[in-house]
Amino acid sequence: MSYVTTQPQVIADAAASLAQIRSAMASASAAAASPTTSLLAAAQDEVSAAAAALFGSYAQEYQAVVSQASLFHDEFVRALTGAGNAYAVAEATNAAPALLADPFVALIMQGSGISIPTVPYMKSVEPYIRHLFGTPADLIPLTTPEGLYPLTQIKDLPLNQSVSTGVQILDNALYGPQGLISQQHLNVNVLGLSQSAVITSLEMRHLASLGSPNTNNLSFTLLGNPMNPNGGLMSRFAGLQLPSIGLDFYGAMPTHTGYQSNTYSFIYDGYADFPKYPINLLADINAFAGIQYVHGNYPDLDPAHLPTGYQLVHLPTTDPNNNFYMITYSNLPILEPLRALPILGNPLADLIQPDLTYLINLGYGDPHYGYSLGYADVATPFGLLPSVDPVSFAGDMVTGAQQGVGAFVSDISAMSAPSPAGPGGLLGSLTSTFSSGGTGGTGGPSLLPSLSLNFSPDNFIHTLKTLNTDITNTITNTSANLYAIGLPTADIANAVLTTLPSYNLNLFLDGVQQVVDGDPVGGLSYAFGAPIAADTALLTLAGGFELNVLLNAIGEIAGGD
């Protein structure tokens, strides 16, 4: 590959242009179909009829040729896109062994809610380091606060305080009195996941401000980074601050710093792959579902050996030192609750998934991709509306409906009727239930202390004391959990009622500034459209966070914690 010169982004741009040509061909063919294939004879004589038949025959042959050309065009676009991606991945893979040729250690942090990285966790994320950097000589855990009030715990550190402390800890681990680089002179790869990816990104920003020292000794691996330049939640709404819950949107991670970095994201991960056009409510809800169902799955995968149905897409960048990868799969997070329903859940999800995927992907721009196709290392804020071709939209929706029906029929055909439980099974189930005190056979503890058959005044008094203590503790814990809901709920409401209107006003003024600068149409569109788009996304997230708080509180009450 050293003797091959190409530009994957140019190939991607060419593929996009070809896709537009395909839409133009389809529109022209559809417009020409009726007037050419339904040509009427100019008169009733045989010559006119023969001429009409001749031109009609040519028109039908034209439609057949256009159909074949369209199929060839689609295959060529797919081949061109695949060639660009394949070249980019191969080039990065071949170049990777030179990034950290000397032995190096991995400094590993975990995500929100888990301060101390465990050995199983470090081994589970090591494949992301091995993918391009090679095998580290040692895995070193780094303890960081990892607080994310109110999602981790009610009385936990807010994100901004947790991240600020984490950056200090990471910098000290690298350059402090016992720093791995400054004192021990080691080559280090720093791995950050989720919140610790934010910590890593801010440390990279700090080092860049110092002139990027030790670029030959320090590299980075980031997983599920909310500061992804093109897709990260904190980059989409850069500069937004929610003081009531301690949430700062830090903007995009730095690039062109001289440091080698590899970033991996899941498609539809709401933290790392947030919609570019958040006015698409379906895309926003799906992104929040991705936070719940997708964001925690990074340790479960090896990017070099992905399961069937998964793909590793190397995204285009402007800096060869920064690699960005998107891990794609077929299912939508928003449909996971439906798939969890017995019997018909999965068939129904497969029925609506093709068209729903198309509608959700419009939130990212191109309806055929669940991520933005722009440069991955270029900071990309949220936009207003994607460009939609009505002809392509209608055709793709029809195709998606056909695919959904086919998948539904296939799922139903593959289902086997469940065998009904016999009388013995029902009797056994009932016996198990009642014998376990109604706990479903789990043998769970009774709410009341057990009474001994050997009755005595001392035992009776002890039983009353135990009962009194248990009841009091239950009431106290339940009350604490109930009023604990009030604080985060009030803080979230505070953000919605005070900070969000202020953010909307700033967006409006940005649009006014565009008008003043000579762009009246774009400025007015932004002034009135940007607040609506931002509110659609941020209110969805606020509602999701509140739902998370309520579910956690209910779980603690039910668990007796």
Token pair for residue 82?
């695949």
Taking alpha carbons only, the member of 148, 159, 92, 177 closest to residue 376 is 92
Using a 10 angstrom Cβ sphere, with 0-12 exposed, 13-18 middle and 19 or more buried, the burial of residue 549 is buried
Question: Over 50: is that where the pLDDT of 252 sits?
Answer: yes
Written as one string, the DSSP assignment of 282-312 is: HHHHHHHHHHHHTGGGGGG--TTSPPTT-EE
For 327, the enclosing helix (H) or strand (E) is strand 322-328
Question: What is the rounded CA–CA span in Å between residue 292 and residue 116?
Answer: 22
Model confidence pLDDT, tens digit, residues 119-155: 999 999 999 999 999 999 999 999 999 999 888 766 6
What's the pLDDT at 6? Answer: 47
Question: What is the rounded CA–CA span in Å between residue 62 and residue 55?
Answer: 10
How many secondary structure helices (H) and strands (E) does the chain include?
14, 9
DSSP H helices in 42-102? 46-95
What 3-state DSSP class applies to 106?
strand
More confidently predicted of 55 and 249: 249
CA angle 399, 400, 403 (to 5 degrees): 90
DSSP H helices in 385-456? 390-414, 423-435
Confidence of residue 44 (pLDDT cuts 50, 70, 90): low
Q: Tokens 């009505």 sit at which residue? A: 390
pLDDT mean over 510-514: 93
Q: Which is it for strands 260-266 and 241-242: parallel, antiparallel or unpaired? A: unpaired
What percent of the chain is modeled with pLDDT above 70? 70
The type of residue at 322 is: N
Total Cβ atoms within 10 A of residue 486: 10
Taking alpha carbons only, the member of 275, 274, 264 closest to residue 300 is 264
What's the pLDDT at 46? Answer: 66
Question: Over 70: is that where the pLDDT of 261 sits?
Answer: yes
The type of residue at 534 is: A
Lowest mean pLDDT among 34-38, 125-129, 179-183, 198-202: 34-38
Confidence of residue 22 (pLDDT cuts 50, 70, 90): low
| Domain 8-94: assigned CATH number | 1.10.287.850
Per domain, the residue ranges of the chain are 8-94, 458-559
| DSSP structural state of residue 497 | I
Model confidence pLDDT, tens digit, residues 515-559: 999 999 999 999 999 999 999 999 998 898 888 877 776 766 666
More confidently predicted of 323 and 75: 323
Instruction: Show which residues are catalytic.
Output: 194
Question: What is the rounded CA–CA span in Å between residue 547 and residue 541?
Answer: 10
Written as one string, the DSSP assignment of 331-352 is: --GGGHHHHTSTTTHHHHHHHH
Question: What is the rounded CA–CA span in Å between residue 109 and residue 220?
Answer: 12
Question: Over 80: is that where the pLDDT of 504 sits?
Answer: yes
Question: What is the rounded CA–CA span in Å between residue 540 and residue 288?
Answer: 8
Buried b (16+ CB within 10 A) or exposed e, 385-394: ebeebeebee
Q: Which is it for strands 322-328 and 218-223: parallel, antiparallel or unpaired? A: unpaired
Q: Are 40 and 23 in contact (CB under 8 A)?
A: no
Question: What is the rounded CA–CA span in Å between residue 300 and residue 112?
Answer: 17
Total Cβ atoms within 10 A of residue 202: 22
What percent of the chain is modeled with pLDDT above 90? 61
Model confidence pLDDT, tens digit, residues 380-422: 999 999 999 999 999 999 999 999 999 999 999 988 655 444 4
Question: Over 90: is that where the pLDDT of 225 sits?
Answer: yes
Alpha carbon distances (Å) from 268 to 67, 111, 198, 245, 328: 34, 18, 18, 24, 9
CA angle 268, 129, 210 (to 5 degrees): 90
What's the pLDDT at 549? Answer: 78
Confidence of residue 470 (pLDDT cuts 50, 70, 90): confident
Question: What is the rounded CA–CA span in Å between residue 363 and residue 279?
Answer: 8
Taking the whole predicted model, whether its pTM rises above 0.75 is answered as no
